[in-house]
Amino acid sequence: MAEQYNAGQIQVLEGLEAVRLRPGMYIGTTSSRGLHHLLWEIVDNAIDEASNGYADRIHVTLHQDGSASVYDNGRGVPVDVHPTLGITGVEVIYTRLHAGGKFNHDNYQYTGGLHGVGASVVNALSSWMTVDVFLNWTHYRMAFASTTDPKTGKVHAGEPTGPLEKLGNTRKKGTLVRFLPDPTIFEDVVFHQELVARRLQELAYLNRGLQIVLTDERVTDPARREMSFRYEGGISDYVRYLNEDKTLLSDEVIYLEGRRDDILCMAAIQYNDGYTENLYSYVNNIPTSEGGTHETGFKTAFTRVFNDYARRTGRLKDKDEKLNGEDFREGLSCVLLTMVPNPQFEGQTKGRLGNSEVRPAVEGIITEKLIDWLDNLKNQDMANRILEKAIRAAQARDAARKTLETRRRTNALEATPLVGKLSAARGRHPEDNELFIVEGDSAGGSAKQGRDSRFQAILPLRGKPLNVEKKRLDQVLSNEEFRSLITALGTSIDATFSLSALKYHKVIILSDADQDGAHIRAILLTFFFRYMKELITAGHVYIGMPPLYRVQKGSQIWYAYDDRELEKITSKAGRGYQLQRYKGLGEMNPEQLWATTMDPAQRKLMKVTIEDAAQADRLVTILMGDKVDPRRAYISQHADFNRKDQFEEKTRKATGERSV
């Protein structure tokens, strides 16, 4: 350690070096999520061209060599020389942080990329990048690469490999960016087609009439090699897509659009017969999963206008209390898109809009347009259906509130019924404590004996909990297993949910690796998603990963958590090993369960996150809803029916092995 600290020891990172040294500061993570963030940055630049009226076509290609390219038929990035830097616009945009045309509203009225770091960060974190510009009938190209000095080991990030070239004449216009993510930076350098396709489809819905094409050169199946997305109905088509596996209150989509003070707001609303609200909001095409001032303005206007309408039509009497916003939004699916000239996002992930001026603007737009919709005689039937549903929701909410109060008074939601069921942790610090939700008494007994009671609690489930999809809150509260879980967590539920009261900051679902275990896991995740979503978004829900296999040869024992790991272990073990496939946690003794599944130093946990709320809701509806055909189709497409056969084949291959 240096004893003296002086100015000469201060390191100055020039150009794009800082990005490579601390990539997490710019893209959040170097995992697969960070890899795809690179693609989103380039795609968002193309989307900004389209949403501002300069482009109507975007083509994304996943190439066989691992690179990705994005083309838009917009204006093309500038190729002239910057007046003060003395280099071309292409070089400025792709090599200088905080440089770009999005600070000036003459170039872009609405944009998602505000800081001028996206394109240059992608360049910095790529092995190479090429930028083709089609402008003024001329094809230009500039190439960049990250190289390492063999003498000093210093990495020169994203430097031009030569000057901007003129390659000839062209009729095309726009920009084509192709880049290869640097494998020394990222843990995973494989773009996932399904994830990319979902995001591009979402962007096509948000930008009415824009055509987005995805080509995956890695795929040989023609049906999956190229996909095209274009929706003339925009977000109205989007909300129909989100509701296509639900039972609708009406086929009608309520579409509201208006502008105030350069703030543009569009909302597409459709009701289903479910009991949950699904509001998906976007600002300048960026998902705002944590809401913000635009959502607040929408909800305030929606609640006030419908309450006024209920009074005006006599559905609510003078003596009746106003209905809550949650009552009017029960069964609502809504896509809210707001375009803001200078959006201020809170947090690095841009999850929440903070602009104070957006709330009154959105509130005013929705109020005006919703009143106009309600005043139209052809909409009276739909408006009355919404009112009837809201009144029933208020009655159910009141019944649930009374149930909660009654059970609290009689200790039905306190610790008494958990005696002999919950084995609580001795620790008094929630941030250190873990709750294992375990399937059955047998596994629960092993877990109780194997745990570290200083910080680990065990809650065994006796029987399969209720599938809460399409159930009201009062019905959920009548289920003993969920009452026990709510009490153990300490957070209450739904509108009364309080994250600050959480007693265990790790809530771990630990179920068997069979069909029943998977079903219980799905039921619990559905419950958390519908009634305690903040528990997931705050990062408190995990899935325990017990091993699938135990391999023994002589005195040596290995555990494999998946088939790929089993292949490595059996190859290493050679012939003559014994192979056991665990059918349930109850087959493990307490020591094995601790060593493989509960010991924080050795276990594997899968953190449950919501990357795409709309897609998550759709999957929950398909898998847990009451429509059979969508579920059958999904299972047929995604299920691996060969897993058991693969295990049986493995047991036959080794000489002297024993399958248990």
Alpha-carbon span 582 to 543, nearest angstrom: 17
Q: Check whether 406 has a pLDDT greater than 80.
A: no
Structure tokens at 137: 């009938």
Confidence of residue 5 (pLDDT cuts 50, 70, 90): very low
Q: If residue 224 lies in a helix (H) or strand (E), which one and from where to where?
A: helix 222-225
pLDDT of the residue at 7: 38
Confidence of residue 11 (pLDDT cuts 50, 70, 90): very low
Alpha-carbon span 607 to 506, nearest angstrom: 10
Instruction: Choose among 499, 476, 470, 464: nearest CA to 413.
Output: 476
pLDDT of the residue at 115: 43
State pLDDT tens for residues 537-584.
899 999 999 888 999 999 999 999 888 899 999 998 888 899 988 877
Instruction: Choose among 354, 58, 343, 55: nearest CA to 203.
Output: 58
- Residue 247: count other Cβ atoms within 10 Å of its Cβ: 13
User: 17-227, what's its fold?
Assistant: Heat Shock Protein 90 (3.30.565)
* Residue 382: HSE in the Cβ half-sphere, 13 Å Cα cutoff: 20
Where is average pLDDT lowest: 137-141, 277-281, 413-417?
413-417
Alpha-carbon span 280 to 351, nearest angstrom: 12
- Does residue 505 sit in helix, strand or coil? coil
**Which residues are known to be catalytic?**
439, 512, 514, 516
CA dist 116 → 44, 78, 106, 225, 636 (Å): 12, 15, 16, 33, 45
> What single string gives the DSSP state of each residue in 597-647?
II-TTT--EEE---S-HHHHHHHHHHHHSS-HHHHHHHHHHH--TTHHHHH
Residue that has been written with the tokens 């003395």 in this structure = 86
Structure tokens at 356: 């104070």
Alpha-carbon span 260 to 340, nearest angstrom: 10
Instruction: Choose among 454, 625, 647: nearest CA to 563.
Output: 647
Alpha-carbon span 655 to 117, nearest angstrom: 59
CA dist 161 → 78, 117, 143, 546 (Å): 19, 21, 6, 50
Alpha-carbon span 294 to 340, nearest angstrom: 10
Instruction: Kindly report the pTM of this predicted structure.
Output: 0.81
CA angle 89, 95, 98 (to 5 degrees): 85
Which sign does the torsion angle of CA 107, 110, 113, 115 carry? positive
pLDDT of the residue at 483: 86
The amino acid occupying position 535 is L
User: 235-389, what's its fold?
Assistant: Ribosomal Protein S5; domain 2 (3.30.230)
Contact 354, 297 (CB under 8 A): no
Q: What percent of the chain has pLDDT over 70?
A: 89
CA dist 26 → 30, 321, 610 (Å): 10, 49, 21
pLDDT of the residue at 8: 41
Structure tokens at 296: 């607040």
Alpha-carbon span 55 to 36, nearest angstrom: 23
The amino acid occupying position 429 is H
Q: Mean pLDDT across the stretch 598-615?
A: 88
Instruction: Choose among 275, 249, 273: nearest CA to 474.
Output: 275
Q: For residue 105, what are the contacts with CB-CB under 8 A and spacing of at least 6? A: 341
Q: Mean pLDDT across the stretch 67-79?
A: 95
pLDDT of the residue at 313: 92
Structure tokens at 196: 């990319």
Region of residue 226 (left: phi > 0; alpha: psi -120 to 50; beta: else): beta
Q: For residue 57, what are the contacts with CB-CB under 8 A and spacing of at least 6? A: 72, 73, 210, 211, 212, 213
pLDDT of the residue at 47: 94
Q: Mean pLDDT across the stretch 240-251?
A: 93
Q: Mean pLDDT across the stretch 497-502?
A: 92
Contact 175, 43 (CB under 8 A): no
Extents of the domains making up the chain: 17-227, 235-389, 411-546+605-611, 549-581+627-660
State pLDDT tens for residues 99-110.
655 545 556 677
Q: For residue 422, what are the contacts with CB-CB under 8 A and spacing of at least 6? A: 415, 457, 458, 459, 484, 487, 488
Instruction: Choose among 652, 657, 647: nearest CA to 551.
Output: 657
Q: Choose from 292-301, 351-360, 440-449 the range with maximum mean pLDDT.
A: 292-301
What number of residues does the chain have? 660
- Does residue 565 sit in helix, strand or coil? helix
Bridging pattern class, strands 549-553 and 556-560:
antiparallel
Query: Angle between the 643-653 and 563-573 helix axes, to the nearest 10 degrees?
Result: 0
Residue 180, φ and ψ in degrees, nearest 5: -115, 110
Confidence of residue 640 (pLDDT cuts 50, 70, 90): low
pLDDT of the residue at 643: 52
Q: Mean pLDDT across the stretch 65-79?
A: 95
Alpha-carbon span 455 to 59, nearest angstrom: 52
- Architecture of the domain delimited by 411-546+605-611: 3-Layer(aba) Sandwich (3.40)
Task: Tell me the pLDDT of the chain averaged across its residues.
Answer: 86
- Residue 600: count other Cβ atoms within 10 Å of its Cβ: 11
Buried b (16+ CB within 10 A) or exposed e, 353-364: bebebbbbbbbb
Q: Check whether 2 has a pLDDT greater than 70.
A: no
State pLDDT tens for residues 506-533.
999 998 877 788 889 999 999 999 999 9
Q: Which residue has the higher pLDDT, 238 or 582?
A: 238
Q: Check whether 334 has a pLDDT greater than 50.
A: yes
Alpha-carbon span 8 to 480, nearest angstrom: 67
CA dist 220 → 199, 216, 223, 224 (Å): 22, 9, 9, 8
> What single string gives the DSSP state of each residue in 91-131?
HHHHHSTT-SSTTSTTT-SS-S--SS-HHHHHHHTEEEEEE
Instruction: Choose among 235, 426, 400, 199: nearest CA to 333.
Output: 235
Q: Mean pLDDT across the stretch 178-183?
A: 96
Q: For residue 639, what are the contacts with CB-CB under 8 A and spacing of at least 6? A: none
Q: For residue 159, what are the contacts with CB-CB under 8 A and spacing of at least 6? A: 15, 95, 144, 145, 146, 147
The amino acid occupying position 586 is G
